[in-house]
């Protein structure tokens, strides 16, 4: 099972903005990222 964190959790943990986390995700700037949608 994967361990994961939300954008909000990453933002707080890394002391960067949520927008910056999202940008890093979209630019593959975070190793091992897996995109999960909240849409059910």
User: What pLDDT does residue 33 have?
Assistant: 81
User: What pLDDT does residue 39 have?
Assistant: 64
Q: How big is the chain by its Cα radius of gyration, in Å? A: 10
User: What pLDDT does residue 28 have?
Assistant: 82
User: What pLDDT does residue 4 have?
Assistant: 83
Q: Please write the tens of the pLDDT for every residue from 9-30.
A: 999 999 999 999 999 988 887 8
Task: Give Cα separations from 6 to 27, 36 (angstroms).
Answer: 17, 9
Residue 12 φ/ψ region, left for φ over 0, alpha for ψ in the -120 to 50 degree band, beta for the rest: alpha
- Chain-centre distance for alpha carbon 37: 11
Confidence of residue 40 (pLDDT cuts 50, 70, 90): low
Q: Please state the domain extents for the chain.
A: 1-40
């Amino acid at each position: 099972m994967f361990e994961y964190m939300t954008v909000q959790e990453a933002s707080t943990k890394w002391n960067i903005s949520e927008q910056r986390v999202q940008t890093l995700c979209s630019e593959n700037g975070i190793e091992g990222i897996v995109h999960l949608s909240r849409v059910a």
